[in-house]
């Protein structure tokens, strides 16, 4: 990882920067999923993880000069949108029944 | 060899086609068609057999062999087995016997089994039997012979338990099958021993189990000859009902009477004798095995004859008589006179098939009564049955010039040359044979009719389909022995010369073989022309047989009180022994069956099956999986964040591992 000093000297943004961002976003997303109990926040964290993947895809796509990465990002976006739609719909139904969005209260899957 | 040898495969295959037709279609076919298929297939087979026989006869005596190669059956490495059929003087004679007597018995069956519910099934089994028997006889190698050997065993089982609605019948079938399996086990090991001795020592690609190959390499077999010979003989004791495996044959009488005639008198039970004759090149190498065979044969002949004295079921008497006669055949083989043994197979097939068919005719007339104490005086009602059975009785007793005289006399003569002790045992049995046959005839056909009035009113001679075969067999019982008219009586002993090429192999191959043959036939060579001895022995056995016959008729017609008084005189113990067949069945039960039952119940069932297999293995695996499941359940707690955490940790671990593994 390049140190911040040289980053300031030379504002050339390269593959490493994108990947670093991606890793950070992914880690934040993961930690969010693990530690937050609010389902909505967990959802957002999942979206964050997807976005981080998208960033790395685009970065590699540019770096390798290969359009496939771009195409894949579009697919991920579409799927993420669909997933969010379905997930939120389920969430609304659960909230109507249980009056809570605390994920620790949802343990019926255990049985 | 020729294009005409293909006839052999058709002789064998036709009964199979008949069996298939009747077996698959029997419910849709009327009786007339079923019997036409059943009889027709065997009849055509018999016709072809005659043709093949004459083809064979036309060849010069040295090269009398027809071979029909059908296809390669088992090509496994060094082991090559073909399906092929051979006709030589030995199998030719047996072929005519099986198809000929088989044909007569098929015809008889169409009358005997008339309006039985299983008519089609019966004929299918009977045809299948003829097919298996023909495989056994014409097989050109030991393994194919074994296929026929098992096939006849299967058909025997099916036909003994033919009326399976009665539990006793199916039990008898099972007994026959299991006892035969014991023998077959020995037979199979015998084959293995031979394969082991020959494999790799004979030229590449040779058909090592073919009889011709084995005979050619008899010197290789010499080291294992005794072992192999005895093991094969174990198989023969099962199939041919010799001590100690004879117990199934009397029970086999549960089957329909024509079956007893065909399978349990004329053909299948002689398979052991045929096998010995076929493998004579092996037995010639081993005087030990031959002695065992001779002793077992002689003892069986005497032992079974004594049991036959006290049976009251007409078929049981005949069954023990068959066991006894088979003993004679093995006695003949055991003293090295294979041809004479086969000669007795032929004559015995005629008169014993006739006796069984005659008994069947009586049973038919008596409405399925088999107890001789309920019979008597049937001579008036069934004259043809009586006359033909009388011929058979004279034949089996060995009265000149009926068939049995020639074969039995020659066996006893050969036995004398080997050892007078063997002769004495056979001689005693011959007298007993005459006696129990006279008893059978006296109780069945002479004196007052003891049947209930109801049965008596319906007594009648059997239909022509049944009497016809009786008459033919009756004639054969008279003239059938003439093919072996001995030289000392001015005959030519044609059958001896006919068989001679088959059994003259020892001299040509192998040093050991030559010696042994001389050993076995040495006596014959020096005493072979002792006409005075032959005359003496013939007169002795003729007189002894006549005495037996006379004694039997006298005791059971004029002095019916004598047997009872004799029993009292010896306090009844010998009689009880004989009547209960020396308690052999009970001894086997106590010594073999009962321990196996107990072992099975206490150890094999409760410990091995219930404890180890069920408890430890089947349920154990189930319980183990259940336990693992219980543990894994703890992981599945329904906490979504816990799952996410485990998942992320897992991925992390894998990533670290992969990174270290592939980059470090």
Task: Give residue-wise pLDDT tens across range B559-585.
Answer: 777 776 766 666 566 677 777 777 888
**Tens of pLDDT along B170-216?**
999 999 999 999 999 999 999 999 998 888 788 777 788 889 888 88
Give the residue-averaged pLDDT of B115-124. Answer: 88
B346 lies in the same domain as B473: yes
Look up tokens 């015995």; give the residue: B348
Which residue among A34, A108, A111 sits closest to B641, beta carbon to beta carbon?
A34
User: Looking at the domain assignment, is residue B316 inside a domain?
Assistant: yes
Q: Write down all domains in chain A, each with its CATH number in brackets.
A: 37-111 (1.10.287.3510)
pLDDT at B590: 86
User: Looking at the domain assignment, is residue B622 inside a domain?
Assistant: yes
Report chain A residues whose CB lies below 8 A from the CB of B635.
Answer: none
For residue B258, give the nearest of B102, B370, B366 by alpha carbon.
B102
b/e map B305-337, b = 16+ CB within 10 Å: bbbbbbbeebbbbbbbbbbbbbbbbbbbbbbbb
Contact A110 B638 (CB under 8 A): yes
If one compares B522 and B81, the residue with the highest pLDDT of the two is B81
For residue B104, give the nearest of B477, B567, B537, B661 by alpha carbon.
B477
Query: Is B367 in contact with B494 (CB distance < 8 Å)?
Result: no
Give the residue-averaged pLDDT of A34-57. Answer: 91
Q: How confident is the model at residue B118 (pLDDT cuts 50, 70, 90)?
A: confident
Query: Taking phi first (over 0 means left), then psi (-120 to 50 degrees means alpha), and beta for anything else, what does residue B524 get?
Result: alpha
Query: Is B97 in contact with B346 (CB distance < 8 Å)?
Result: yes
Report chain A residues whose CB lies below 8 A from the CB of B644.
Answer: 30, 33-34
Q: Which of residues B516, B547, B579 is at a domain's end? A: B579
Q: How confident is the model at residue B517 (pLDDT cuts 50, 70, 90)?
A: very low
For residue B491, give the nearest of B531, B536, B550 by alpha carbon.
B531
In whole angstroms, give the CA distance from residue B242 to residue B330.
Answer: 9
In whole angstroms, give the CA distance from residue B649 to residue B662.
Answer: 20
Tell whether the model's pLDDT for residue B438 goes beyond 60.
yes
Tell whether the model's pLDDT for residue B430 goes beyond 80.
yes
Query: Is B359 in contact with B396 (CB distance < 8 Å)?
Result: no
Q: Say if A35 is an interface residue toward chain B (CB within 8 Å).
A: yes
What is the enclosing helix (H) or strand (E) of B308?
helix B287-308
What percent of chain B has a predicted confidence (pLDDT) above 90?
47
- Tell me, rounded to whole angstroms, the distance of Cα A39 from its chain centroid: 15
Tell whether the model's pLDDT for residue B1 goes beyond 50.
no
Phi/psi of residue B305, nearest 5 degrees: -65, -40
Q: Say if B199 is an interface residue toward chain A (CB within 8 Å).
A: no
B305 lies in the same domain as B445: yes
Under 8 Å CB-to-CB from B60, ≥6 apart: which residues? none
Tell whether the model's pLDDT for residue B505 goes beyond 80.
no
Q: Say if B647 is an interface residue toward chain A (CB within 8 Å).
A: no
For residue B340, give the nearest of B493, B504, B515, B142 by alpha carbon.
B493
Q: How confident is the model at residue B42 (pLDDT cuts 50, 70, 90)?
A: very high
Q: Report CA-CA distances (Å) from B498 to B64, B306, B339, B527.
A: 10, 35, 9, 22
Task: At B524, list the tokens.
Answer: 């014959």
User: Looking at the domain assignment, is residue B404 inside a domain?
Assistant: yes
User: Looking at the domain assignment, is residue B119 inside a domain?
Assistant: no
pLDDT at B664: 62
pLDDT at B570: 61
pLDDT at B513: 38
Q: Which of residues B547, B579, B611 is at a domain's end? A: B579
What is the enclosing helix (H) or strand (E) of B532?
helix B531-553
In whole angstroms, give the CA distance from residue A19 to residue A23.
Answer: 6
Provide the mean pLDDT of chain A: 87
B466 lies in the same domain as B532: yes
Which residue among B638, B639, B644 sits closest to A33, beta carbon to beta carbon?
B644
Q: How confident is the model at residue B509 (pLDDT cuts 50, 70, 90)?
A: very low
pLDDT at B493: 81
Contact B639 A34 (CB under 8 A): no
Query: Within a 10 A sphere around the Cβ of B80, how many other Cβ atoms?
Result: 20
Range of the domain at B608: 603-663
Tell whether the model's pLDDT for residue A1 goes beyond 80.
no
User: Looking at the domain assignment, is residue B619 inside a domain?
Assistant: yes
pLDDT at A6: 64
> For residue B651, what is the nearest residue in chain A, using CA coordinates?
A30
User: Looking at the domain assignment, is residue B27 inside a domain?
Assistant: no
Under 8 Å CB-to-CB from B10, ≥6 apart: which residues? B45, B48
Q: Which of residues B545, B579, B613 is at a domain's end? A: B579
In whole angstroms, give the CA distance from residue B39 to residue B123.
Answer: 9
Provide the mean pLDDT of chain B: 87
Q: Burial, B225: exposed, middle or buried (Cβ in 10 Å; 0-12, 13-18, 19+)?
A: buried
pLDDT at B559: 76
Give bridge partners of residue A38 from the DSSP assignment: A102
User: Looking at the domain assignment, is residue B443 inside a domain?
Assistant: yes
In whole angstroms, give the CA distance from residue B101 to residue B83.
Answer: 25
pLDDT at B452: 82
Tell whether the model's pLDDT for residue B338 goes beyond 70.
yes
pLDDT at B582: 78
Task: At B145, list the tokens.
Answer: 């012979």
Query: Is B285 in contact with B194 (CB distance < 8 Å)?
Result: no
**Angle of CA points B248, B470, B35, to nearest 5°:** 80
Query: Taking phi first (over 0 means left), then psi (-120 to 50 degrees means alpha), and beta for anything else, what does residue B571 get?
Result: left
pLDDT at B508: 40
pLDDT at A7: 58
Contact B641 A107 (CB under 8 A): no
B518 lies in the same domain as B657: no
Tell whether the model's pLDDT for residue B2 goes beyond 70.
no
B557 lies in the same domain as B647: no
B556 lies in the same domain as B634: no
b/e map B451-475, b = 16+ CB within 10 Å: beeebeeebebbeebbbbbbbbbbe
The number of domains in chain B is 2
Q: How confident is the model at residue B389 (pLDDT cuts 50, 70, 90)?
A: very high
Interface of A with B in 38-77 (CB under 8 A): 42
Give the residue-averaged pLDDT of B592-603. Answer: 88
Report chain A residues whose CB lies below 8 A from the CB of B638.
Answer: 106-111
Which residue among A33, A35, A109 sits closest to B638, beta carbon to beta carbon?
A109
Q: How confident is the model at residue B521 (pLDDT cuts 50, 70, 90)?
A: very low
B532 lies in the same domain as B625: no
Under 8 Å CB-to-CB from B330, ≥6 apart: which residues? B236, B240, B242, B272, B273, B276, B293, B294, B296, B297, B300, B341
**Tens of pLDDT along B85-107?**
999 999 999 999 999 999 999 99
User: Looking at the domain assignment, is residue B242 inside a domain?
Assistant: no
pLDDT at B272: 93
Tell whether the model's pLDDT for residue B66 goes beyond 70.
yes
Tell whether the model's pLDDT for residue B350 goes beyond 80.
yes
Task: At B240, list the tokens.
Answer: 């041919």
B413 lies in the same domain as B545: yes
pLDDT at B516: 42
Tell whether the model's pLDDT for residue B11 goes beyond 60.
yes
């Amino acid at each position: 990882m390049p140190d911040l000093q040289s980053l300031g000297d030379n504002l050339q943004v390269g593959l490493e920067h994108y990947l670093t961002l991606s890793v950070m976003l992914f880690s934040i997303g993961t930690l969010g999923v693990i530690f937050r109990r609010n389902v909505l926040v967990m959802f957002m964290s999942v979206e964050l993880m997807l976005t981080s993947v998208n960033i790395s895809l685009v970065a590699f796509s540019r770096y390798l000069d290969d359009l496939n990465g771009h195409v894949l990002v579009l697919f991920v976006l579409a799927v993420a949108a669909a997933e969010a739609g379905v997930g939120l719909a389920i969430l609304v139904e659960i909230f109507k029944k249980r009056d809570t969005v605390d994920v620790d209260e949802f343990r019926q899957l255990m049985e | 060899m020729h294009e005409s040898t293909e006839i052999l495969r058709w002789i064998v295959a036709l009964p199979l086609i008949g069996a298939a037709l009747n077996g698959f279609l029997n419910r849709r076919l009327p009786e007339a068609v079923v019997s036409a298929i059943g009889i027709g297939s065997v009849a055509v087979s018999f016709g072809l057999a005659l043709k093949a026989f004459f083809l064979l006869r036309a060849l010069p005596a040295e090269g009398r062999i027809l071979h029909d190669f059908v296809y390669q059956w088992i090509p496994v490495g060094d082991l090559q087995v073909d399906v092929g059929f051979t006709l030589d003087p030995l199998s030719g004679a047996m072929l005519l016997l099986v198809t000929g007597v088989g044909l007569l018995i098929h015809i008889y069956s169409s009358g005997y089994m008339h309006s039985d519910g299983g008519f089609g099934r019966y004929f299918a089994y009977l045809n299948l039997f003829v097919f298996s028997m023909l495989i056994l006889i014409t097989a050109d190698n030991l393994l194919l012979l074994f296929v026929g050997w098992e096939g006849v065993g299967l058909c025997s089982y099916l036909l003994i338990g033919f009326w399976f609605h009665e539990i006793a019948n199916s039990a008898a079938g099972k007994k026959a099958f299991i006892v035969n399996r014991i023998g077959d086990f020995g037979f199979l090991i015998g084959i293995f021993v031979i394969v082991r001795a020959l494999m790799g020592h004979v030229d590449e690609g040779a058909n090592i189990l073919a009889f011709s190959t084995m005979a050619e390499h008899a010197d290789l077999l010499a080291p294992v000859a005794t072992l192999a010979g005895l093991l094969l003989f174990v198989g023969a004791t099962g199939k041919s009902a010799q001590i100690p495996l004879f117990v199934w044959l009397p029970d086999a009488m549960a089957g329909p009477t024509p079956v007893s005639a065909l399978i349990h008198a004329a053909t299948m039970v002689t398979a052991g004798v045929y096998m010995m004759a076929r493998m004579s090149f092996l037995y010639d190498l081993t005087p030990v095995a031959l002695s065992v065979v001779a002793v077992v044969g002689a003892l069986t002949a005497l032992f079974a004859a004594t049991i036959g004295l006290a049976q009251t079921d007409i078929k049981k008497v005949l069954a023990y008589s068959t066991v006894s006669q088979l003993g004679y055949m093995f006695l003949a083989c055991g003293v090295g006179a294979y041809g004479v043994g086969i000669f007795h197979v032929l004559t015995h097939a005629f008169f014993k098939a006739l006796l069984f068919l005659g008994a069947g005719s009586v049973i038919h007339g008596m409405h399925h009564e088999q107890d001789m104490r309920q019979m008597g005086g049937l001579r008036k009602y069934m004259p043809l049955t009586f006359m033909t059975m009388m011929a058979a009785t004279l034949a089996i007793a060995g009265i000149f010039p009926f068939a049995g005289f020639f074969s039995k006399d020659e066996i006893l003569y050969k036995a004398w040359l080997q050892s007078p002790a063997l002769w004495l045992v056979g001689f005693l049995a011959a007298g007993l044979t005459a006696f129990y046959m006279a008893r059978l005839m006296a109780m069945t056909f002479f004196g007052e009719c003891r049947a209930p009035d109801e049965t008596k009113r319906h007594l009648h001679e059997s239909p022509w389909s049944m009497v016809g075969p009786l008459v033919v067999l009756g004639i054969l019982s008279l003239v059938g022995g003439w093919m072996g008219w001995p030289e000392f009586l001015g005959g030519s002993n044609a059958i001896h010369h006919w068989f001679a090429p088959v059994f003259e192999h020892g001299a040509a191959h192998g040093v050991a073989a030559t010696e042994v043959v001389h050993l076995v036939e040495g006596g014959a060579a020096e005493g072979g022309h002792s006409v005075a001895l032959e005359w003496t022995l013939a007169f002795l056995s003729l007189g002894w047989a006549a005495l037996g016959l006379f004694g039997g008729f006298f005791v059971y017609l004029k002095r019916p009180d004598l047997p009872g008084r004799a029993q009292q005189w010896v306090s009844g113990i010998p009689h009880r022994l004989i009547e209960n067949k020396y308690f052999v069945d009970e001894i086997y039960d106590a010594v073999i069956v009962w321990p196996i039952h107990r072992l099975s119940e206490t150890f094999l069932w409760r410990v091995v099956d219930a404890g180890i297999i069920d408890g430890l293995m089947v349920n154990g695996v189930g319980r183990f999986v259940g336990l693992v499941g219980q543990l894994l359940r703890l992981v599945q707690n329904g906490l979504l964040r816990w799952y996410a955490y485990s998942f992320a940790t897992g991925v992390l671990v894998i990533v670290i591992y992969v990174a270290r593994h592939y980059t470090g």
